[in-house]
Amino acid sequence: MELRKCTFEDMQLLARLNKELYEDEKNDNIPGLDILEERLRTSMEQGAKAYLIVYEGEVTGYAFVKTQTKPYYLSHFFICKNMRRKHLGTIAFQELMNELDTESIDLDVFYWNQRGQEFWKSLGFEERCIIMRKNR
């Protein structure tokens, strides 16, 4: 497993992976690829870091970290569906923490994403807040 730091040349691939993440999370507002690409580019210009997760020469996911604040914020972490349940997420996250050289990191998990919650708890994450929304 390799964690490869992204450049601006990786924006289209990152946007496609980001769209897969949105769809996988059953997000209620999935932007187009052009908007996703622009958001990722802007965040990277402001200091965020992106990494491709590569396994046996194939891109199997990505991580996107906002490093402008302490602790850092892991805004995206995605393993492609066909590559899950192989411990790649655990290995990739450990590599990411080593790469970032940080002792702590925050992230959000959707309430309905039970598998995601269990995954992050298995890595030592603890619940810290509940975000609520009211629609009309």
The domain ranges of the chain are 2-122
Is it the case that residue 112 has pLDDT exceeding 90?
Answer: no
* pTM recorded for the entire structure: 0.91
Residue pLDDT, tens place only, 80-107:
999 998 999 999 999 999 999 998 999 9
Cis-peptide into 71, omega within 30 deg = yes
State the average pLDDT over residues 39-43.
Answer: 96
Q: Band of the pLDDT at 3, cuts 50, 70, 90?
A: very high
Provide Rg for the chain, Cα atoms.
Answer: 15
* pLDDT score recorded for residue 66: 96
CATH number of the domain located at residue range(s) 2-122 in this protein: 3.40.630.30
How far, in whole angstroms, is CA 33 from its chain's centroid? 16
How does DSSP classify residue 103?
Answer: S
Strands 105-107 and 49-55 turn out to be unpaired
Considering only CA atoms, which of 98, 108, 47 is closest in space to residue 77? Answer: 108
* pLDDT score recorded for residue 28: 77
Q: Mean pLDDT score of the chain, rounded to an integer? A: 94
Burial class (CB in 10 A: 0-12, 13-18, 19+), 38: middle
Are 33 and 41 in contact by the 8 Å Cβ rule? The answer is: no
Considering only CA atoms, which of 45, 57, 32, 34 is closest in space to residue 6? Answer: 45
Residue pLDDT, tens place only, 43-85:
999 999 999 999 999 999 999 999 998 999 999 999 999 999 8
